[in-house]
Chains A and B, each alone.
Chain A
Amino acid sequence: MDLYPPTGLPRRRHLLSISDLDRADVERLLETAEGFESVMQRDVKKVPTLRGRTVVNLFFESSTRTSSSFELAAKRLSADTISVKASGSSVDKGESLKDTILTLSAYDPDVIVIRHPQAGAPAIVTRHTDAHVVNAGDGKHQHPTQSLLDLYTIRKAVGKVEGLQVAIVGDVLHSRVARSNIQALTMLGAHVTLVGPPTLIPREAAAMGVTISHSIDDLAEVDVIYVLRMQRERMLEGANYVPSLREYSALWGVTPDRVRPSQLVMHPGPINRGVEISAEVADSASSRIVDQVRAGLVTRMAVLYDLLTEPTTTGGQAALRAVEPAGQEVA
């Protein structure tokens, strides 16, 4: 994991963007996650690895999957967790992000996990805390742990990422998942095609090393169909990105006639059934949507573990060594 040095504070490892990682980091994290998979199959699913450590989950935007999975990941590692949501906190009283961070940092947390509706919020957090910072989604910018769990899911299903053809379909413009995944997938040697209406593909997106297509027919050639949610809540009023959801579904909806059984279908959730993906596809054998959620737990455990221990070159094996004896102790 790359160092993201905040000014005036000791250098800390943070996970703010996929670009903070190199390929070796990603491999190490995925192997560590794999190591935690066996823990999840035990009767007692908790290990004492991070006992005495504190993880703050700070969510300024609604979330089911990400917040529950970070919280459970920390608990499975025996860390103490505090979950703060924007509503019902001092944020409602006008407290600034800086002051919220200064306040929570007074408890000396080891990790601050932050989700925020505005790009760059995690970067602000690093300037005001000694804790490691994990970006759980900032605006339309980045969502690096989603990418890690997606890579993990693809590897489990196909055995590799290198050389795969992946189509990311839909509202790329408003998607932090797309931006993280383009970086993560291309880093591991997949080829990415963005498929969607010209209004929802950012201008000059090709500079990210992807192919652009406006035709849903181009799904036919890919190994993985990664469907994005239409993020209506991020769209400006009256912006007219698509004439209607009906027309969007007709032209770019992922429906059974557009998917072959050998293709994987993924979606970061929450899904709009009948808009970007049909119910039949979401519930089909091709769908890996539930696997993605499961993968979220072990990959987030791996991220917390990695940040709070010295990274090693042996990756997952080292994680297992640290986990196994302790696990027995608890059992």
Chain B
Amino acid sequence: MERLTHREAPPANLLISGARLFDGDSGLEGVQLDVRVVDGTIAEIGSDLEADGVETVDAAGLTMTPGLIDPHVHLRTPGDEDEEDIASGTRAAAAGGFVAILAMPNTDPVVDSAAVLGGLIERAGEQAAVPTGFFAAISRGLEGRELVDMAELAARGAAGFSDDGRPVERAGMLRRALQYSRVTGLKLTLHEEDMTLTAGSQMHEGAVSAELGLHGYPGIGESVMVGRDLQIARYEHAPLHLCHISAAESVAEIRRAKKLGVDVTAEVSPHHLCLTDELVRDLDPAVSKMNPPLRSAADRAALIEALADGTLDCIATDHAPHRTHEKEVPFEAAPNGVIGLETAFAAVYTELVAPGLVSLSTVIERMSAGPARAFDLPVPALRTGAPADLALWDLSESWVVAPPYASRSRNCAFAGRTLQGRCTITIAAGTVAHRLAEVAR
């Protein structure tokens, strides 16, 4: 069944000429071609295509990729629409080149009933600028005690199940949820944290936390839970997705489990790929406080290696909006989370692709086909006959990350940084979802 919803909009009719096309699945590695979109579908890919009366976008010097998919977004709806709502969050997604997102259920109320989920899907049908799916909680109220009515939520259109924001603390509870996921056919996606190892923590435990006097969250606070849950998934032969992997120890667990044949996929955030705990020295929680925390340079190197070799399947933003005033407080008093939809690709391009650490094709795969396969969503493709789910980039443009943002919140990890690569056009589900003002010439 269709698990993504968006608002109706007129289908795109465009000729995009002269962009360099990248799409590993279609065997495109930067060849310069024209792409004709007719009624929201890629009708033709070739050289020297005629405009035939439709608008032509001169994309010489630009790069076209399949649209990106973000499987980990907090839309703060219902309950905290002043931080983000479906309209603003999906506009931010479109501005970042995303053509589909999945939203987490730790809202107020929690998405743990068909009624709440149904309301969200209805609102997405009116407001979502890009196709949006909604995870339902694994446990009622995210309390880790009783399972939600998983089959009913699946039937109502849930994209999967997650208690993100907190771990499923009881191993027995997770086992039941994994067993029951055979009934729904939907994946569980887990926030991995052993709360007894992370109580009171403010940042990664290491040399910087020792110096700053902030209570540390060690890498093993994540990896012991990753190890536990991979064992349960292996025993139950159940598929599993792991959220925002941040520690080298977790990467080792996942690599081992994949060799053993465990059906696991895992994601990593742009901020964990690009930044380290050194950033916390500025004590500005709006940019450097999140859970899991920014980790050491060695962890970062392990994440980059794992992204390159496929141990980590997806890049996911964990876009987590917060009110400005909630982040204008002492570091220890601030809530966790940073926004990242509008900066995700540019940050990874600037810090990983431009310096030659990971290829552009790999990054595109991990941000598009990778998450699509992990959650059984249609894979965006630059292929004749495919729906137009694509993004156009100016990879030569440098820009300073600063408000105004499309997001309602401003707690961006990359605020003030100069990033390279900017999304100029996003076509999502066949409609133009984002167009940078300068390209609208």
Contacts and interface: CB of A to CB of B under 8 A. Distances in A.
B52 interface: no
A176 B213 CA distance: 7
Interface in A169-208: 174-176, 179, 202-205, 207-208
Contact of A140 (B214, B218, B325, B329): B214
8 contacts: A96-B328, A119-B331, A119-B332, A139-B332, A202-B216, A203-B205, A203-B216, A236-B200
B211 A208 contact: yes
Contacts of B218: 203
A120 B287 CA distance: 14
Interface of A: 96-98, 116-121, 123-124, 127, 138-142, 174-176, 179, 202-205, 207-208, 236, 239
A119 B210 contact: no
Contacts of B199: 236, 239
A209 to B, nearest CB: 10
Contacts of A176: 213
Contacts of B202: 119
Interface of B: 199-200, 202, 205-207, 209-216, 218, 282-285, 325, 328-333
- Nearest 8 pairs between A and B by C-beta? A140-B213, A120-B283, A207-B207, A120-B331, A202-B210, A118-B330, A118-B332, A121-B330
A116 B206 contact: no
Given A96-B325, A203-B218, A123 B210 contact: no
A242 to B, nearest CB: 17
A26 to B, nearest CB: 18
Contact of A204 (B207, B214, B331, B332): B207
A59 to B, nearest CB: 15
B213 A96 contact: no
A206 to B, nearest CB: 8
B330 A119 contact: yes
Nearest to B289: A120
Contact of A203 (B206, B282, B332): B206
User: Which of A138, A139, A207, A236 has the most chain B CB atoms inside 10 A of its CB?
Assistant: A139
User: Which of B205, B285, B329 has the most chain A CB atoms inside 10 A of its CB?
Assistant: B329
B210 A97 contact: no
A205 B214 CA distance: 12
A119 B329 contact: no
B214 A141 contact: yes
A123 B212 CA distance: 13
Given A116-B330, A123-B330, A140-B215, 10 more contacts: A118-B333, A119-B283, A119-B332, A123-B284, A140-B214, A175-B213, A176-B213, A204-B206, A204-B210, A208-B211
Contacts of B331: 118-120
Nearest to A16: B283
Contacts of B213: 119, 139-142, 174-176, 179
B153 to A, nearest CB: 36
A239 to B, nearest CB: 7
B329 A96 contact: yes
A219 to B, nearest CB: 22
A212 B213 CA distance: 17
A116 B200 CA distance: 17
